[in-house]
Structure formats: C-alpha cells, structure tokens
Amino acid sequence: MAHIVVVGAGIGGLPAAYELRHLLGRSHRITLISDKAEFTFIPSLPWVGLGLRSVAETQLNVGELVASRGIDWKLGNISHLDPYRQQLIFAGCAIDYDYIVLATGASLALDAVPGLGPEGGYTQSVCNPHHAELACEAWNKFLDRPGPLLVGAVPGASCMGPAYEFALLADWVLRKKGLRDRVPITFITPEPYAGHLGIGGMANSGKLVTELLAQKDIELIENAAITEITSHTVRLADNRRFAFNYAMFLPPFQGAKFLRDAPGLTNANGLVPILPTYQHPNFPSVYSLGVTVQLPPPETTPIPMGVPKTGQMTEAMGMAVAHNIARQLGEIKAPPVTPTLEAICMADFGDTGIIFIADPVLPDPKTGKRKRAIAKRGIWVSWIKTAFELYFMAKLRWGSAVPWFERVALRVLGLSLVKPLPNAPKISKFAS
C-alpha cells in the first residue's frame, strides 16, 4: 500500500486528489492537507474585491466534499518537509509519505516593494479570499471619498488577468454609480506593452487591451517598475510619482515557507523545479503543480515577470500528476503524460470581456511559435466566465476532476489537458 499526500485544496490540489482516488485502488491511502477549510474559486476574487460577489459564493467546504470519497482530510499547517526522509511535520506530528503532491497555491511576496499589500502596506490585493475581503472593505470606503485609482502589478508579478479585470470592472462599477468623472484611473504594468501578459506573442491582445483602456479613459503606463509605495503615492524607478486614494497591485508569487525552508527542494523564490512528468528532478517522490511550479519565461522582458499559470493549466498539471503516480504504482498501463499547458484566461469587464488563449503558453523552443494565440472581445466572455464558475463548483460537489463530457468538449475545441511523453523510460512498479 502506498500513501500519497496532496498538499493544498485549491483549483489544482482538490481535483488532483479526486483523480488519484479515481485511478488508484482502495488499498492506497490518499491524504489531503490544507491550511484552509474552504476551497475558493480564485478567478472570482476580482468580483469580491469590488463588492460584486461575496466570498461565501466562491467557496465550498473541503471537509464536506471529501468526507465520503475515501480521502483523508487534515486541516492545518505544515511546518517542515524533509524530501530525503519522505516525511513532513503537521501539527507537531510526523507523517510519512510514498509520494507527495505540492499544490500549495500562491504565497505572496509582499516584501518585494516597500509599502505593498493590505497588511503592513498601503495597497490592496485580490490574490486570496482574505485580501479580497479587505479590498472590498477599502473599496466601500473609497466610494464615499472617491479620488485617483491606481491598478496594476509590481515587477515579478505573473498572471495579469486579474489586474485588467479589476481596473475595467472598477470603471464599469463607477460609471453605474455615477462616480466615474470623480475617479481618474491609471493602469501601471511591468509588461513591455499592455496585453503582453508575461508571455508575449499573443496575437492581437496588445491592440485589443490598449484600445479598450483608451475607450474607457484609463491612462496606461507600460514597462513600469514600481519601487516604493507610501500612504497615498506610488513611485516608479524613473522617479515618476502617482497619487492615489485607492490602489490594487498584484504582487509576485513565491513558494510556501515550508517549501522554501526545505534544502534542495526549490529555487530562490520557493518554486519547485520539475521534469516533464512534473516530478522533482532530484526527489522522485515529489510532484508539484500550479503556481508553485517553476516554469521558464518564454522571453526576457526589460522588467522581470513570472509565467502565468491559469486554472486550466493547473488542472492539466494535476491530471498529469495523478496519471503518472498511478502508472508508477502499477494501477494503469499507459505511457507517462505531460500537461499540454494550453492556457485560457477569461477576463470579465462588466459590459464586455476578453478571452485569451495561448496554445501552449510556452512556445515551441525550436520555432518560437505557438499552435494558436487568440484574443477575442465581447460581452459573451463575461457570460462564459460566470457559467464556468458555476460548472467548476458543481463538478467539485460531484467529486469529479474532469467529467467525461468535459473531456469531449475540450476535444471538440481542439484542446486537451495532457499528452503522452515520447520515448519515456520504463518505471518499475512501486514496492509496498
């Protein structure tokens, strides 16, 4: 019997635990550990930050979801991980594992810029549910005393979609409330150009985003490095200063502290290196997925940026990890797989939206090209994002990671979550 521990119950960890339970016989034990009692649909948090949705509407209780599904559930913090001994320390007790899946999600590097963040700083964030609630509280106060609004990201940030969503949703909300003429909005981004998204080569995304910001009378500051934030001012590396009454800036992501503290496990930012199977190159018992994975940027930008890891990418990583562990345990006879890393980002702007598709997010290393790079605008994007949130929450209630009809729908769209690895080495069956 093998013991597989999944750390993190978010968009990656919870579906990965479901898929492992689906693929593995009941003789194998699966333990799900998270420091949060609720699953949160993170893509909905810009709505929460602007008072368009409550946090409760984006959450499900993890304990209730897994109670009858043959998955052990532990709520609390991991204080130490020893990949050499294949052991972690949880609530003061040692837990041994045969395989561990690291799906911890984003830990925010709020010390990247002085004054960044809602706790100990002067800006808001919508990267986790607590911060989204704080952002909403600050937003409601801001509506009573409107003034300059700054939105964007600091150097090292990765997924830019929520920043664009927040700026354009804020514009939409303020217009509905009759306050837009009292709120100048400025978007400050480390991207070389708006719509670059940290990956470049995204068809007409630059034109679409730039035109939309201009139509909404949002000032755009590109290729900008924020170096300091005070109570009402943001300073850039070129010494330009921007005043604000409200500011929301995305921070860089890093690995959780217990990962950063584990010798030889991560890079300097706490991100986990991976093989194509999403195993650690030095610790075969360690798999990782989602934000915590180290991916090389497809191109170097003047101001450093991270590689975005969208929900679909994270799901695909989880499916690949579950498949490859089941293969190692001899439960399935199939070649190992790797995630396709086809990235879909749906950004809702209230009265319109933009869908970005990068297939794959990392271009072919030989040609520098993607199979597809699409950016489309329309109100239908907002409808699709809302529908997808409802669907994703429903399938977690069903206890299914990727139902058969979702796989069929992806094939119809010419998309897939995983693909076989060519010339993969044979891996012997786990010895219990």
Nearest to 146 by CA among 171, 122, 121: 171
pLDDT score recorded for residue 368:
81
310/302 Cα distance (integer angstroms): 23
Has residue 406 got a pLDDT over 80? no
Asked if residue 225 and residue 87 are part of one domain, the reply reads no
Residue 430 counted as domain residue? no
Asked if residue 347 and residue 260 are part of one domain, the reply reads yes
Look at 116-125, 353-362, 401-410 and tell me which has the smallest mean pLDDT.
Answer: 401-410
Residue finishing a domain among 250, 277, 294: 250
Q: What is the DSSP string of 63-88?
A: HHHHTTTT-EEEES-EEEEETTTTEE
- Write b or e for each residue in 115-133: b if 16 or more Cβ atoms lie within 10 A of its Cβ, otherwise e: bbbbeebbbbbbbbbebbb
pLDDT score recorded for residue 404:
67
| Model confidence pLDDT, tens digit, residues 176-205 | 999 999 999 999 999 999 999 999 888 899
Q: To which H or E segment does residue 303 belong? A: none
pLDDT score recorded for residue 367:
83
| Model confidence pLDDT, tens digit, residues 7-30 | 999 999 999 999 999 999 999 999
Residues 373, 377, 382: CA angle, nearest 5 degrees: 115
Q: To which H or E segment does residue 60 belong? A: strand 59-61
- Judge whether 136 counts as a catalytic residue: no
Do residues 323 and 349 lie in contact, with contact meaning Cβ atoms separated by under 8 Å? no
187/291 Cα distance (integer angstroms): 24
Single-letter amino acid, residue 27:
S
Asked if residue 401 and residue 323 are part of one domain, the reply reads yes
Has residue 432 got a pLDDT over 50? no
Nearest to 30 by CA among 103, 79, 83: 103
229/299 Cα distance (integer angstroms): 28
The tokens for 288 are: 């990782």
Give the chain's domain count. Answer: 2
Q: Domain range spanning residue 178?
A: 110-250
Residue 104 counted as domain residue? yes
380/388 Cα distance (integer angstroms): 12
pLDDT score recorded for residue 109:
95
pLDDT score recorded for residue 431:
35
The tokens for 323 are: 């498949």
374/194 Cα distance (integer angstroms): 15
Asked if residue 258 and residue 393 are part of one domain, the reply reads yes
Residue 143 counted as domain residue? yes
pLDDT score recorded for residue 203:
83
Asked if residue 258 and residue 153 are part of one domain, the reply reads no
**What's 259's domain CATH number?**
3.50.50.100
Reduced to 3 states, what is the DSSP secondary structure of residue 187?
strand
- Write b or e for each residue in 67-103: b if 16 or more Cβ atoms lie within 10 A of its Cβ, otherwise e: eeeebebbeeebeebebeebebebeeeebebbbbbbb
Residue 357 counted as domain residue? yes
144/205 Cα distance (integer angstroms): 35
Residue 330 backbone zone (phi > 0: left; psi -120 to 50: alpha; other: beta) = left
pLDDT score recorded for residue 201:
85
Asked if residue 241 and residue 174 are part of one domain, the reply reads yes
Residue 426 counted as domain residue? no
- Determine how many CB atoms are found less than 10 A away from the CB of residue 208: 18
Residue 425 counted as domain residue? no
Burial (CB count <10 Å: 0-12, 13-18, 19+), residue 149:
buried
Asked if residue 264 and residue 193 are part of one domain, the reply reads no
| Model confidence pLDDT, tens digit, residues 280-305 | 999 999 999 999 999 998 889 999 99
| Model confidence pLDDT, tens digit, residues 418-431 | 999 976 645 444 43
How much is the mean pLDDT over the chain? 93
| Model confidence pLDDT, tens digit, residues 299-345 | 899 999 999 998 889 999 999 999 999 999 999 999 999 999 988 89
Asked if residue 104 and residue 16 are part of one domain, the reply reads yes
Residue finishing a domain among 235, 250, 265: 250
| Model confidence pLDDT, tens digit, residues 134-170 | 999 999 999 999 999 999 999 999 989 999 999 999 9
Asked if residue 205 and residue 83 are part of one domain, the reply reads no
Q: How far is CA 3 from CA 16, 34, 269, 321, in A?
A: 15, 17, 28, 15
| Model confidence pLDDT, tens digit, residues 229-272 | 999 999 999 999 999 999 999 999 999 999 999 999 999 999 99
Residue 429 counted as domain residue? no
Q: How many helices (H) and strands (E) does the chain have?
A: 10, 24
Asked if residue 52 and residue 41 are part of one domain, the reply reads yes
Asked if residue 127 and residue 60 are part of one domain, the reply reads no
**What's 151's domain CATH number?**
3.50.50.60
Asked if residue 354 and residue 334 are part of one domain, the reply reads yes
Residue finishing a domain among 250, 265, 297: 250
pLDDT score recorded for residue 286:
98
Residue 286 counted as domain residue? yes
